[in-house]
Chain A
Amino acid sequence: MPLISYRDALNQALREELRRDPNVFLMGEEVGVYQGAYKVSKGLLQEFGERRIIDTPITEEGFTGVGIGAAMVGLRPVIEMMTWNFSLLAMDQIINGAAKMRYMSGGQFKIPIVVRGPGGAAHQLAAQHSQSIESWYAHVPGLKVVAPSTPYDAKGLLKSAIRDDDPVIFFEGETLYGSKGEVPAEDYTIPIGVADIKREGTDVTLVAWSKMVSVAMKAAETLAAEGISCEIVDPRSLRPFDDAPILASVRKTNRCVIVEEGWPYVGLGAQIAYQIQQAAFSDLDAPVTRVTGADVPMPYAKNLEHMAMPSPTRVVAAVREVLYLD
């Protein structure tokens, strides 16, 4: 299998879906002539032209709403947020529009839209450009929320998202774009709502998605050297949420650490912990623990940013805690 970047995997998915279905189009700031702020749409304008690769003015609310309106009549827009931070301007359209239109019309409309772009902190971009807000969207009935951690998952899930008849919020990891992995050149899809075991283990379950999978992986390698075996479950989809593999894993390891880039308070990890204790209370040998981003707006200073982010070191410490080793 070819080894390609996360960015190129997304580009392949877009290209293949644009070729497959003339109703698919890509719209957003700088997706065309500039070829994408993160180069995810590289070469697409050349192949598909201005009708289908549409550069917009800087109007997140406006062009997201235009996409939702177009989806109401059968087009399948892919809307690029240059970063998810800017989506806050479009939240009315996404939540009051895309998520609710089907329900409040009694099922008369489907909204097959994908809103995608990079999320999470990168390197010293400070508070307004470093947020993991997937839990905000995962809160909303009517939306589906996806956050792939590998190039393989990114391609397969984006293709599923584009073919899905419901609105899909697609979080890409800003620092994952350059990461490489094996990706088939041919068409394949990964169903939305199916978790994946990223590493098998027996002593503790780590739940992580998007770039936190690599943080969990590094921690698992360190712990393996000490003879501690971690199982890493990547839900991949945050809504719908596939808790069965997580519960199965917890029943095997009896311990769980959730690794989340977002803020702790009312975060997704709190929901996951709730679901685990509800369904597998008697299997737990320790309270479920979370490693999350610090409960602060992201600072600029390099050392402070580092402190604010979940790190392999903090995951190792949490694992030792649930194993009662410290």
Chain B
Amino acid sequence: MATATTPDHISRQLADTPKATLLDMLHKMLLGRRFEEKCAEMYALQKIGGFCHLYIGQEAVAIGALSTLRPDDVIFTSYRDHVHAIVKGCDPGRVMAELFGRRDGVSKGKGGSMHLFDRKVGMFGGHAIVGGHIPLATGVAFASKYQQKDQVTLCFFGEAAVNIGAFHESLNMAALWKLPCIYVVENNRYGMGTSIERASAIYDVAARACAYDMASETVDGMDVLAVRDCISRAVERGRREHAPTLIEARCYRFMGHSMSDPVHGHYRTKEEVEEQKQQDPIKAYFGHLLAAGLVDQKDLEQFDREAREVVERAIQFAEASPEPSADDLYADVYTEPYGPFRRSEQ
């Protein structure tokens, strides 16, 4: 069973965590939610193109996990990456500009929704081949050990990615070489439209860690405090022992796989989605903070207003940013100017 916070846990964690951190987490969950809702709107208006995968419902995983990191720690994630990027420290305006395909986007408009990168805040990308980034994250952890640094690398991916070879290859090497990589499986139960029961021979993702003699934990991914608690242990293990951890965060996405997929699609029932929505991670967390007397309804409204303002400013920034120029087409293919390569292209 997933580790969830019991009432005892909750009060202990609320007491042990600085109030500013607790409030910041609520703020970021709201910001993530409002940002994504606006993305859906902008997609419908065709301001955002391509594929657009929303994170609504899963906020507790990214926010709980990232609340434990230092700025110099590195994260990799999959194509469902907007919230991870913002929470890791990317400017929301530059993220929105990226989604709009504008020059001031975090990836200069070359990456789009699935490829948000911001090196200076440790956002090493959304990656759009399922599980393809797992070896890359392992490589950054390898470099931390090689350079004797105590930074950790967090690698987020969905439960569908654990069936690919690169997952197995990476975890084996990370355990063999003792690399400070934390693999966070966001098990939202569906790889696109295929349920985990239809794709995986075993349901329990964390159990796979035994194949590598690797520490592992299953956590309630709808519970931001439980995620924070669990990831803190893994971060400590990574920093002190250079050892990897596999974490399975059981969560649920409230939206479809992408904007082309209706909320429940053919692969899950409306009832199931509605039932899961009752477990909204933001509401649950607010409930804990409220019960502990740390916030009240007014604070929530204030936070929400602020989040909406940030998103509004992000839209304005993105709208105002120019499209990339023709010169940008050939920029950044290589570290040197593209000139010598052009002959073949006449």
Contacts and interface: CB of A to CB of B under 8 A. Distances in A.
B274 interface: no
Contact of B335 (A59, A104, A165): A165
Interface string B136-159: 111111111011000000000000
Contact of B124 (A72, A93, A103, A240): A72
Interface in B92-125: 105-111, 115, 117-119, 124-125
A63 interface: yes
Q: How large is the interface on A (under 10, 10 to 19, 20 to 34, 35 or more residues)?
A: 35 or more
A106 B106 contact: yes
Residue of A56, A74, A101 with most partner-chain B CB within 10 A: A101
A108 B170 CA distance: 24
Contacts of A278: 346
Interface in B331-346: 331-336, 340-341, 343-344, 346
A65 B333 contact: no
A25 B177 CA distance: 15
B173 A141 contact: no
B107 to A, nearest CB: 4
A64 B139 CA distance: 9
B262 interface: no
B322 interface: no
A184 to B, nearest CB: 26
Residue of B132, B136, B173, B346 with most partner-chain A CB within 10 A: B136
A96 B341 CA distance: 20
A107 interface: yes
Given A106-B332, A108-B107, A74 B143 contact: yes
10 contacts: A59-B172, A59-B173, A62-B138, A65-B166, A70-B139, A72-B139, A105-B107, A105-B110, A106-B108, A243-B343
B135 A66 contact: yes
Contacts, number: 152
B134 interface: yes
B35 to A, nearest CB: 20
B199 interface: no
Nearest to B141: A69
Contact of B117 (A66, A93, A108, A240): A108
A271 B147 CA distance: 43
Complex A-B, nearest 10 residue pairs according to Cβ-Cβ distance, in ascending order: A69-B139, A65-B135, A62-B169, A106-B108, A107-B332, A105-B117, A59-B169, A69-B136, A66-B139, A106-B107
Interface in A135-167: 141-142, 144, 165-166
A92 interface: yes
A93 B194 CA distance: 25
B111 A106 contact: yes
A109 B344 contact: no
B333 A66 contact: no
A275 interface: yes
A106 B110 contact: yes
Interface string B211-227: 00000000000000000
Nearest to A64: B135
B129 A92 contact: yes
